[in-house]
Amino acid sequence: MNIDWPTIRNCDADARHGATIELSGWMIPLDPQADSVDYFLLSADEPCCGGCVPRNPLTSIEVHAAMPIAPQADALTLRGRLVHLVDDPAGWRYRLVDAKPLDLVETPSPRTFSRRAFLTSGAALGLTACAPGRFGGYTEAHDGAAAPTWQPPAGTLTIDMHSHGGRVIVSRNPAIGAHRPFIPLAAPMRAGGMNVICLAIVTDTTVTRVADNRKRFEAWRDPQPGELYALGQTEFQRARELIERQQMQLVTNTASLTASGPLGPCAIISAEGADFLEGQVDRVDEAYTQHRLRHLQLTHYRVNELGDIQTEPPVHGGLTDTGVQVIRRCNALGIVVDVAHGTYDLVKRAADTSTKPLVLSHSALATHPGARSRLITADHARAIAATGGVIGVWPSSGTFKDLHAMAEGVKRVADVVGVEHVGLGTDMLGFISPPVFRSYEQLPDLASALLLAGFSPEEVGAILGGNYRRVFQASVG
């Protein structure tokens, strides 16, 4: 359905909330030097110069594109799902999600554009975004029948074990780097009812790149001495700024988790890759004290000083002695140890070393993971569960075609290790291709899919937060 700017201006577009619409306007990227962007503004008016950013929410809307788009000098028409924003901290009234330029819209494919995919990610989103922070209304199941709505049991906290929400990571484009604009985080968390996220900085970004025709990341050069430590400082600073600007609460222990969790969007400072330590174990203490680090993932896309990674041939035979010392420091200080991206050999030694439960924050089960695969075997999952830990299931579109497939993936992990050892790790804004869970506004849909997969409301509460809460309590105190 085509809509025009007067419909936006007089707020009649509120009634189109959740609908797929087409709208023409000028594309205004916030990263002016980016070659392509998947977040930008669409404006009713041609921009007067390259540097000005429109502010009027009735003449510009936010756009989350389905794929990166090169900035266009001419007006373009976008097709996407319109979301009416309520209490958006940046002041925007409308957002177009899954937007595609009209002349690039391809023949519908089962993965991205089927009615099923649209219903599961779209229809319920419309209603829940109007009722911030609550699970309510109805959801449509993928067969078109009414699906169950999850009512969180009393005291439930929803927790995402792994997120780069708000675009906390610096840009790989050195011209933008740490000046990359944030995007809203608290508002979608509120809209979807997500209470807490483990907000993960990344400290190997400057030495990794996308490889194999945009299929995976790899390290492509050795860092300079001090480079990744400095990058860590920058990223921790960005995390702090993001939390402040979004007026989120910082969770540093079980008491603050219990007190702040139910009140509003919260963050636990987390790092994906301990590369910023540069092998110096005492920097764990510094990060704990100065940056409030409470969740540390040992390795990422670079074989670092701590151990081997799934996506590169092993060098160390698993966890190194430095890795062992880092785990001991985390156990002593009160930092959750996350072994995502690590090899099975790394996980086995980590499990032998750690006196606290381990987390593997974002992956999924595969019977025979291929070389360089980020998926894990049943034994790999069992090694985590044996510590009392949690495996976060991720929403990779390479693994799952929609939220229902993801819910079935959660079930497969639960069948192997028990429901008390499964969680959610969205890796928000960390995927190369858009994942099946790309906004916290989809949380009620995921909860509904988990109910349909056969979990009880209490089990859904454990998966969507309770299990991680147990590990956090045991590790951080």
Cβ at position 225, least distance to Zn ion in Å:
25
Cβ at position 277, least distance to Zn ion in Å:
18
Q: Which residues contact 189 (CB under 8 A, 6 or more apart)?
A: 165, 195, 197, 265, 440
Select 309 or 324, whichever has its Cβ closest to Zn ion: 309
Question: Using CB under 5 A, which of the segments 187-195, 248-256, 364-372, 423-431 binds Zn ion?
Answer: 423-431
Residue from 98, 427, 445, 459 in contact with Zn ion (CB under 5 A): 427
Select 17 or 291, whichever has its Cβ closest to Zn ion: 291
Cβ at position 161, least distance to Zn ion in Å:
10
Select 156 or 299, whichever has its Cβ closest to Zn ion: 299
Question: Using CB under 5 A, which of the segments 68-76, 179-187, 270-278, 463-471 binds Zn ion?
Answer: 270-278
Cβ at position 362, least distance to Zn ion in Å:
6
Question: Using CB under 5 A, which of the segments 97-105, 138-146, 177-185, 425-433 binds Zn ion?
Answer: 425-433
Select 341 or 404, whichever has its Cβ closest to Zn ion: 341
Q: Restricting to residues 194-213, which ones interact with Zn ion according to CB under 5 A?
A: none
Cβ at position 420, least distance to Zn ion in Å:
23
User: Which pair of tokens denotes residue 426?
Assistant: 């969205």
Select 260 or 361, whichever has its Cβ closest to Zn ion: 361
Residue indicated by tokens 């081997």: 308
- Contact criterion met (CB below 8 Å) for 408 and 450: no
Cβ at position 168, least distance to Zn ion in Å:
10
Cβ at position 139, least distance to Zn ion in Å:
28
Question: Using CB under 5 A, which of the segments 18-26, 175-183, 240-248, 420-428 binds Zn ion?
Answer: 420-428
Cβ at position 197, least distance to Zn ion in Å:
12
Question: Using CB under 5 A, which of the segments 25-33, 131-139, 271-279, 325-333 binds Zn ion?
Answer: 271-279
Question: Using CB under 5 A, which of the segments 39-47, 265-273, 325-333, 450-458 binds Zn ion?
Answer: 265-273
Select 318 or 435, whichever has its Cβ closest to Zn ion: 435
Cβ at position 430, least distance to Zn ion in Å:
3
Q: Restricting to residues 300-359, which ones interact with Zn ion according to CB under 5 A?
A: none
Question: Using CB under 5 A, which of the segments 63-71, 100-108, 170-178, 272-280 binds Zn ion?
Answer: 272-280
Task: Identify the CA nearest to 264 among candidates 166, 187, 199, 201.
Answer: 187
CA distance 276 to 132: 37
Q: Binding mask 429-448 vs Zn ion (x if CB under 5 A, - otherwise)?
A: -x------------------
Question: Using CB under 5 A, which of the segments 150-158, 178-186, 404-412, 422-430 binds Zn ion?
Answer: 422-430
The answer to the question of residue 160 lying near Zn ion (CB under 5 A) is no
- The residue sitting closest to Zn ion, measured at its beta carbon, is 430
Number of residues that bind Zn ion (CB under 5 A): 3
CA distance 475 to 11: 49
Select 234 or 396, whichever has its Cβ closest to Zn ion: 396
Interacting residues toward Zn ion by CB under 5 A: 272, 427, 430
